[in-house]
A = this chain, B = another copy of it.
Amino acid sequence: MTGEAKKPVYQRVALIGLGLIASSMALAMREKGLAAEIAGHAKSAETRAVALEIGLCDRVCETAAEAVRGADLVVLAVPVGAMAAIAEEIGPHLAPGATVTDVGSVKQAVIAAVAPHIPAGVDFIPGHPMAGTEYSGPRSGFATLFVNRWWLLTPLAETAAAPVARLTALLEGIGAKVDTMDAAHHDQVLAVVSHTPHLIAYTMVGVADHLAQISNSEVIQYSATGFRDFTRIAASDPTMWRDVFLTNKEAVLDILGRFAEELFVLQRAIRMGDGDQLFDYFTRTRAIRRGIIEAGQDTAAPDFGRAAPASGG
Protein backbone atom coordinates (compact mmCIF):
# COMPACT_ATOMS: atom_id res chain seq x y z
CA MET A 1 0.00 0.00 0.00
CA THR A 2 3.04 2.26 0.27
CA GLY A 3 2.89 5.39 -1.82
CA GLU A 4 -0.88 5.25 -2.36
CA ALA A 5 -1.68 8.73 -3.71
CA LYS A 6 -4.34 10.41 -1.59
CA LYS A 7 -5.15 14.01 -0.88
CA PRO A 8 -3.67 14.83 2.55
CA VAL A 9 -6.25 15.49 5.25
CA TYR A 10 -3.87 17.86 7.05
CA GLN A 11 -1.02 19.92 5.64
CA ARG A 12 1.21 19.84 8.68
CA VAL A 13 0.82 17.41 11.57
CA ALA A 14 2.83 17.93 14.75
CA LEU A 15 3.39 14.87 16.93
CA ILE A 16 4.31 15.80 20.50
CA GLY A 17 5.83 12.73 22.10
CA LEU A 18 7.28 10.01 19.87
CA GLY A 19 6.33 6.74 21.57
CA LEU A 20 4.38 3.73 20.34
CA ILE A 21 1.22 5.64 19.40
CA ALA A 22 2.86 8.65 17.72
CA SER A 23 5.38 6.56 15.81
CA SER A 24 2.60 4.24 14.59
CA MET A 25 0.57 7.29 13.53
CA ALA A 26 3.56 8.69 11.65
CA LEU A 27 4.15 5.45 9.78
CA ALA A 28 0.45 5.01 8.98
CA MET A 29 -0.13 8.63 7.87
CA ARG A 30 2.91 8.49 5.63
CA GLU A 31 1.92 5.15 4.11
CA LYS A 32 -1.53 6.53 3.30
CA GLY A 33 -0.42 10.02 2.26
CA LEU A 34 -2.71 11.63 4.82
CA ALA A 35 -0.33 14.37 6.03
CA ALA A 36 1.70 16.58 3.71
CA GLU A 37 4.33 17.12 6.37
CA ILE A 38 4.96 15.53 9.76
CA ALA A 39 6.89 17.35 12.45
CA GLY A 40 7.82 15.63 15.69
CA HIS A 41 9.10 16.49 19.12
CA ALA A 42 10.06 14.40 22.11
CA LYS A 43 11.36 15.65 25.44
CA SER A 44 14.20 13.14 25.51
CA ALA A 45 17.22 13.90 23.30
CA GLU A 46 17.75 10.16 22.88
CA THR A 47 14.22 9.68 21.53
CA ARG A 48 14.69 12.60 19.11
CA ALA A 49 17.97 11.05 17.91
CA VAL A 50 16.25 7.70 17.29
CA ALA A 51 13.41 9.43 15.42
CA LEU A 52 15.94 11.19 13.20
CA GLU A 53 17.93 8.00 12.66
CA ILE A 54 14.90 5.98 11.53
CA GLY A 55 13.40 8.88 9.55
CA LEU A 56 10.14 8.82 11.47
CA CYS A 57 9.16 12.44 10.71
CA ASP A 58 10.00 15.03 8.10
CA ARG A 59 11.31 17.27 10.88
CA VAL A 60 12.35 16.54 14.45
CA CYS A 61 12.15 19.67 16.59
CA GLU A 62 14.01 20.52 19.79
CA THR A 63 10.94 22.11 21.38
CA ALA A 64 7.23 21.43 21.29
CA ALA A 65 6.60 25.11 20.52
CA GLU A 66 8.71 24.86 17.37
CA ALA A 67 6.96 21.65 16.28
CA VAL A 68 3.43 23.06 16.51
CA ARG A 69 4.17 26.28 14.64
CA GLY A 70 2.04 26.34 11.50
CA ALA A 71 0.59 22.89 12.17
CA ASP A 72 -3.08 22.36 11.35
CA LEU A 73 -3.15 19.22 13.52
CA VAL A 74 -1.30 18.81 16.81
CA VAL A 75 -1.32 15.40 18.48
CA LEU A 76 -0.41 15.29 22.18
CA ALA A 77 1.03 11.80 22.62
CA VAL A 78 2.69 12.15 26.01
CA PRO A 79 1.79 10.51 29.34
CA VAL A 80 -1.39 11.95 30.85
CA GLY A 81 0.58 13.54 33.67
CA ALA A 82 2.66 15.56 31.19
CA MET A 83 -0.31 17.00 29.27
CA ALA A 84 -0.81 20.19 31.32
CA ALA A 85 2.78 21.40 31.00
CA ILE A 86 2.90 20.64 27.26
CA ALA A 87 -0.42 22.39 26.64
CA GLU A 88 0.78 25.44 28.53
CA GLU A 89 3.99 25.49 26.49
CA ILE A 90 2.38 25.18 23.06
CA GLY A 91 -0.77 27.25 23.69
CA PRO A 92 0.71 30.59 22.56
CA HIS A 93 2.22 29.03 19.43
CA LEU A 94 -0.85 27.28 18.00
CA ALA A 95 -2.00 28.44 14.58
CA PRO A 96 -5.54 29.87 14.28
CA GLY A 97 -7.92 27.20 12.96
CA ALA A 98 -5.68 24.37 14.13
CA THR A 99 -7.03 21.24 15.79
CA VAL A 100 -5.35 19.83 18.90
CA THR A 101 -6.06 16.24 19.88
CA ASP A 102 -4.48 13.86 22.40
CA VAL A 103 -4.14 10.12 22.78
CA GLY A 104 -4.39 9.81 26.56
CA SER A 105 -6.10 6.81 28.15
CA VAL A 106 -8.06 9.06 30.52
CA LYS A 107 -10.23 11.87 29.20
CA GLN A 108 -11.72 13.99 32.00
CA ALA A 109 -8.30 14.69 33.53
CA VAL A 110 -6.78 15.50 30.15
CA ILE A 111 -9.59 17.93 29.37
CA ALA A 112 -9.03 19.64 32.73
CA ALA A 113 -5.29 19.81 32.05
CA VAL A 114 -5.31 20.90 28.42
CA ALA A 115 -8.48 22.88 27.65
CA PRO A 116 -7.56 25.98 29.72
CA HIS A 117 -4.42 26.47 27.59
CA ILE A 118 -6.12 26.24 24.19
CA PRO A 119 -6.64 29.72 22.67
CA ALA A 120 -9.85 30.86 21.01
CA GLY A 121 -10.02 29.80 17.36
CA VAL A 122 -8.30 26.47 18.04
CA ASP A 123 -10.34 23.27 18.55
CA PHE A 124 -9.34 20.77 21.20
CA ILE A 125 -10.82 17.33 20.42
CA PRO A 126 -9.80 14.77 23.08
CA GLY A 127 -9.15 11.30 21.72
CA HIS A 128 -8.11 7.82 22.76
CA PRO A 129 -6.89 5.10 20.39
CA MET A 130 -7.83 1.74 21.93
CA ALA A 131 -4.80 -0.03 20.61
CA GLY A 132 -1.36 -0.72 21.89
CA THR A 133 1.20 -3.34 22.65
CA GLU A 134 3.42 -3.92 25.65
CA TYR A 135 6.26 -2.07 23.91
CA SER A 136 7.05 1.63 23.99
CA GLY A 137 9.34 4.15 22.33
CA PRO A 138 9.84 5.39 18.76
CA ARG A 139 11.08 2.04 17.44
CA SER A 140 7.97 0.18 18.63
CA GLY A 141 5.53 1.74 16.15
CA PHE A 142 4.03 -0.03 13.16
CA ALA A 143 1.65 1.26 10.49
CA THR A 144 -1.13 -1.28 11.11
CA LEU A 145 -1.48 -0.73 14.86
CA PHE A 146 -4.85 1.00 14.48
CA VAL A 147 -6.42 -1.19 11.81
CA ASN A 148 -9.93 -2.17 12.93
CA ARG A 149 -9.28 -0.78 16.40
CA TRP A 150 -11.57 1.74 18.05
CA TRP A 151 -10.48 5.35 18.39
CA LEU A 152 -12.78 7.15 20.80
CA LEU A 153 -13.28 10.90 20.59
CA THR A 154 -14.87 12.86 23.43
CA PRO A 155 -15.51 16.27 21.83
CA LEU A 156 -16.38 19.25 24.00
CA ALA A 157 -19.92 20.64 23.75
CA GLU A 158 -18.69 23.83 22.06
CA THR A 159 -16.76 22.10 19.26
CA ALA A 160 -18.27 22.35 15.77
CA ALA A 161 -18.93 19.29 13.62
CA ALA A 162 -16.46 20.12 10.83
CA PRO A 163 -13.15 19.77 12.76
CA VAL A 164 -14.42 16.52 14.33
CA ALA A 165 -15.29 15.18 10.87
CA ARG A 166 -11.85 16.15 9.54
CA LEU A 167 -10.02 14.42 12.41
CA THR A 168 -12.30 11.40 11.95
CA ALA A 169 -11.30 11.24 8.27
CA LEU A 170 -7.63 11.09 9.25
CA LEU A 171 -8.20 8.39 11.87
CA GLU A 172 -10.35 6.29 9.56
CA GLY A 173 -7.67 6.79 6.93
CA ILE A 174 -5.13 5.01 9.15
CA GLY A 175 -7.59 2.17 9.69
CA ALA A 176 -9.34 3.02 12.95
CA LYS A 177 -13.06 2.76 13.71
CA VAL A 178 -14.08 6.08 15.25
CA ASP A 179 -16.79 6.56 17.86
CA THR A 180 -17.66 9.50 20.08
CA MET A 181 -18.83 9.44 23.66
CA ASP A 182 -19.02 11.54 26.78
CA ALA A 183 -15.68 11.92 28.59
CA ALA A 184 -17.05 10.75 31.95
CA HIS A 185 -18.55 7.62 30.43
CA HIS A 186 -15.29 6.98 28.59
CA ASP A 187 -13.39 7.00 31.87
CA GLN A 188 -15.84 4.56 33.45
CA VAL A 189 -15.71 2.16 30.52
CA LEU A 190 -11.92 2.27 30.43
CA ALA A 191 -11.66 1.64 34.17
CA VAL A 192 -13.42 -1.67 33.50
CA VAL A 193 -11.90 -2.85 30.23
CA SER A 194 -8.38 -1.57 30.69
CA HIS A 195 -7.29 0.22 33.83
CA THR A 196 -8.40 -2.25 36.49
CA PRO A 197 -7.26 -5.30 34.47
CA HIS A 198 -3.82 -3.70 34.21
CA LEU A 199 -3.63 -3.04 37.95
CA ILE A 200 -4.67 -6.61 38.69
CA ALA A 201 -2.08 -7.99 36.29
CA TYR A 202 0.63 -5.86 37.87
CA THR A 203 -0.47 -7.10 41.28
CA MET A 204 -0.43 -10.78 40.32
CA VAL A 205 3.04 -10.46 38.83
CA GLY A 206 4.17 -8.65 41.98
CA VAL A 207 2.82 -11.44 44.20
CA ALA A 208 4.78 -14.03 42.24
CA ASP A 209 7.90 -11.90 42.45
CA HIS A 210 7.62 -11.68 46.25
CA LEU A 211 7.15 -15.37 46.99
CA ALA A 212 10.13 -16.80 48.79
CA GLN A 213 9.26 -20.49 48.50
CA ILE A 214 9.03 -20.42 44.70
CA SER A 215 11.96 -19.22 42.65
CA ASN A 216 11.55 -16.66 39.91
CA SER A 217 13.02 -19.19 37.49
CA GLU A 218 10.15 -21.57 38.28
CA VAL A 219 7.61 -18.80 37.80
CA ILE A 220 9.18 -18.04 34.44
CA GLN A 221 9.59 -21.65 33.29
CA TYR A 222 6.06 -22.65 34.14
CA SER A 223 4.34 -19.45 33.08
CA ALA A 224 2.59 -20.86 30.00
CA THR A 225 -0.36 -21.91 32.16
CA GLY A 226 -1.95 -18.50 32.55
CA PHE A 227 0.59 -16.30 34.28
CA ARG A 228 2.41 -15.21 31.13
CA ASP A 229 -0.70 -13.46 29.80
CA PHE A 230 -0.63 -11.28 32.92
CA THR A 231 3.06 -10.51 32.50
CA ARG A 232 2.49 -9.11 29.02
CA ILE A 233 0.05 -6.55 30.38
CA ALA A 234 2.30 -5.92 33.38
CA ALA A 235 5.20 -5.08 31.03
CA SER A 236 3.47 -1.92 29.81
CA ASP A 237 5.00 1.51 30.25
CA PRO A 238 5.21 2.37 33.99
CA THR A 239 4.94 6.14 33.52
CA MET A 240 1.85 5.89 31.38
CA TRP A 241 0.15 3.58 33.85
CA ARG A 242 1.11 5.55 36.94
CA ASP A 243 -0.56 8.56 35.35
CA VAL A 244 -3.65 6.59 34.36
CA PHE A 245 -4.26 5.45 37.93
CA LEU A 246 -3.59 8.86 39.41
CA THR A 247 -5.92 10.61 36.98
CA ASN A 248 -8.79 8.10 36.69
CA LYS A 249 -8.75 7.50 40.43
CA GLU A 250 -12.47 7.54 41.22
CA ALA A 251 -13.55 5.17 38.48
CA VAL A 252 -10.68 2.76 39.13
CA LEU A 253 -11.33 2.72 42.89
CA ASP A 254 -15.00 1.99 42.21
CA ILE A 255 -14.19 -0.98 39.98
CA LEU A 256 -11.48 -2.22 42.35
CA GLY A 257 -14.02 -2.22 45.16
CA ARG A 258 -16.42 -4.31 43.10
CA PHE A 259 -13.57 -6.61 42.08
CA ALA A 260 -12.51 -7.21 45.69
CA GLU A 261 -16.11 -8.01 46.71
CA GLU A 262 -16.54 -10.46 43.87
CA LEU A 263 -13.16 -12.08 44.53
CA PHE A 264 -14.08 -12.59 48.17
CA VAL A 265 -17.31 -14.32 47.11
CA LEU A 266 -15.33 -16.78 44.97
CA GLN A 267 -12.66 -17.15 47.63
CA ARG A 268 -15.36 -18.07 50.13
CA ALA A 269 -16.85 -20.57 47.66
CA ILE A 270 -13.44 -22.23 47.43
CA ARG A 271 -13.07 -22.27 51.21
CA MET A 272 -16.55 -23.72 51.69
CA GLY A 273 -16.10 -26.20 48.83
CA ASP A 274 -19.10 -24.82 46.92
CA GLY A 275 -18.40 -26.35 43.51
CA ASP A 276 -21.78 -25.43 42.02
CA GLN A 277 -21.21 -21.73 42.63
CA LEU A 278 -17.77 -21.88 41.02
CA PHE A 279 -19.05 -23.85 38.04
CA ASP A 280 -21.93 -21.43 37.42
CA TYR A 281 -19.63 -18.43 37.62
CA PHE A 282 -17.07 -19.92 35.24
CA THR A 283 -19.80 -20.84 32.77
CA ARG A 284 -21.22 -17.32 32.57
CA THR A 285 -17.85 -15.72 31.87
CA ARG A 286 -17.40 -17.90 28.77
CA ALA A 287 -20.13 -16.02 26.93
CA ILE A 288 -18.27 -12.70 27.01
CA ARG A 289 -15.27 -14.29 25.29
CA ARG A 290 -17.50 -15.54 22.50
CA GLY A 291 -18.89 -12.01 22.10
CA ILE A 292 -15.41 -10.52 21.78
CA ILE A 293 -14.44 -12.96 19.05
CA GLU A 294 -17.73 -12.44 17.20
CA ALA A 295 -17.16 -8.66 17.35
CA GLY A 296 -13.77 -9.10 15.66
CA GLN A 297 -11.91 -7.73 18.69
CA ASP A 298 -9.70 -10.79 19.16
CA THR A 299 -8.54 -13.81 17.28
CA ALA A 300 -10.42 -17.09 17.71
CA ALA A 301 -7.16 -18.98 17.18
CA PRO A 302 -6.29 -21.07 20.25
CA ASP A 303 -3.94 -19.33 22.67
CA PHE A 304 -4.08 -16.10 20.60
CA GLY A 305 -2.53 -18.02 17.70
CA ARG A 306 0.83 -18.09 19.46
CA ALA A 307 3.25 -20.27 17.56
CA ALA A 308 5.03 -22.93 19.57
CA PRO A 309 7.98 -21.02 20.98
CA ALA A 310 11.58 -21.63 20.04
CA SER A 311 13.52 -23.78 22.43
CA GLY A 312 15.00 -21.87 25.32
CA GLY A 313 15.99 -21.68 29.00
Seen from chain A, the residues whose Cβ lies within 8 Å of a Cβ on chain B are: 81, 105, 130-135, 140, 142, 144, 147-150, 152, 175, 188-190, 192-211, 213-214, 216-236, 238-239, 241-243, 245-246, 249, 252-253, 255-256, 258-260, 262-264, 266-267, 270-271, 273, 275, 278-279, 281-286, 288-292, 294-299, 302-313
B134 lies within 8 A of A232 (CB): no
B289 lies within 8 A of A134 (CB): yes
Q: Please give, as numbers and ranges, the residues of chain B lying within 8 Å of A204 by CB-CB distance.
A: 196-197, 200, 259
A225 lies within 8 A of B130 (CB): yes
B216, B278, B281, B296: the one contacting A288 at CB < 8 Å is B216
Q: Please give, as numbers and ranges, the residues of chain B lying within 8 Å of A256 by CB-CB distance.
A: 263, 267, 270
In whole angstroms, how far apart are the Cα atoms of A273 and B271 in the complex?
34
17 contacts between A and B (CB under 8 A): A130-B224, A148-B308, A196-B207, A197-B204, A202-B266, A220-B297, A228-B298, A231-B288, A231-B298, A232-B289, A241-B282, A245-B278, A252-B270, A253-B267, A256-B267, A260-B264, A294-B312
In the A-B complex, the 4 residue pairs with the smallest Cβ-Cβ separation, listed nearest first, are A296-B312, A295-B313, A133-B302, A194-B225
CB A149 to nearest CB in B, in angstroms, measures 6
